Amino acid sequence: VRVPLHFDIPMSPVTSRRHLPRGEARAAIIAHASRLMRGRGFASTSVDEICLQAGVTKGAFFHHFASKEALVPTLIEAWVGDRAAQYGRALEAAGEDPLIRLEALFGSLRENVREPPEGIPACLLGMLAQELSLHHEPLRDAFARCFAGWTDLVAGLLAEAKVRHPPVVDFDPAEVAWMLNSLWQGTLLVAKSREEGRRLAEGNLEHARAYLRLLFHGPAALPGSRAET
């Protein structure tokens, strides 16, 4: 005798998980972790959510990475690789003149603000460096090296430019490169809290270019200049 006490469960906890094909788990973890951490930072991004969004299980995560922190180096490696490729393409298209190549580099930056990757206008490096530098020495050095990679590129261009276009005011290429690096990181940071983040970024880029032009060519090169006597 079957008694018809029927009952369907509502509110069943969602355990939907699309399983990825084998071997793609690692890449998916990196991609989604990068995206999430770029938006929320390291501490606020849980391993669970990374796995959920990447469509893998925690077992897969801890198979590929010993811990949550162990993910970070891989993450920034992938990030700087992507950036380097992007800059490389821009420079390649820019020709020989180091000043024009610099302009092309600035154009790349502006593009990252105009159409930020995955809609998140932030730099993974800046986000993680802010959060983790003071408390994890090995990571701090990694961040420093990543920043140095960018400034080396810029400093190289500036040094070349000094040879080709002797500047009106002398300067240390490395110092200026670091200053530009700081300016850009700060721009991204400040832009997060402003409605007109893009305008801020473009304005700041404009002033960076203005500074370089003043250094290389003097006031005559700028609009709005009153020629000195």
Shortest Cβ 93–its own copies spacing (Å): 9
Q: Which is nearer to DNA, 52 or 214 (CB)?
A: 52
Q: Which is nearer to DNA, 34 or 45 (CB)?
A: 45
Partner whose footprint covers residue 59, from its own copies, DNA, none (CB < 5 to 8 Å by kind): DNA
Site string for DNA, 39-78 (x = CB under 7 A): ------xxxxx------xxxxxxxxx-xxxx---------
Shortest Cβ 40–DNA spacing (Å): 10
Shortest Cβ 192–DNA spacing (Å): 21
Q: Which is nearer to DNA, 16 or 229 (CB)?
A: 16
Q: How far apart are alpha carbons 36 and 39 in whole angstroms?
A: 5
Stretch that binds DNA, among 21-29, 89-97, 107-115, 126-134 (CB under 7 A): 21-29
Residue 134, C-beta contacts closer than 8 angstroms, at least 6 positions apart = 140
Partner whose footprint covers residue 95, from DNA, its own copies, none (CB < 5 to 8 Å by kind): none
Closest CA to 145 of 165, 167, 125, 172: 125
211, two tokens: 């500074």
Distances 6 to 3, 11, 13, 115 between C-alpha atoms, Å: 8, 16, 20, 54
Distances 140 to 125, 126, 129, 175 between C-alpha atoms, Å: 11, 11, 7, 20
User: Is residue 31 involved in binding DNA (CB under 7 A)?
Assistant: no
Partner whose footprint covers residue 20, from its own copies, DNA, none (CB < 5 to 8 Å by kind): DNA
Amino acid at 204: N
Q: Which is nearer to its own copies, 54 or 215 (CB)?
A: 215
Q: Which is nearer to DNA, 37 or 208 (CB)?
A: 37
Candidate list 2, 18, 135, 226; residue touching DNA; CB under 7 A: 18
Shortest Cβ 164–its own copies spacing (Å): 16
Query: What long-range pairs does 159-165 form, CB within 8 A, spacing at least 24?
Result: 160/98, 161/98, 161/99, 161/102, 161/216, 164/97, 164/98, 164/99, 165/99, 165/216, 165/217
Question: Which of the 8 DSSP states describes residue 168?
Answer: S
- For binding to DNA (CB under 7 A), which residues are involved? 17-20, 22-26, 45-49, 56-64, 66-69
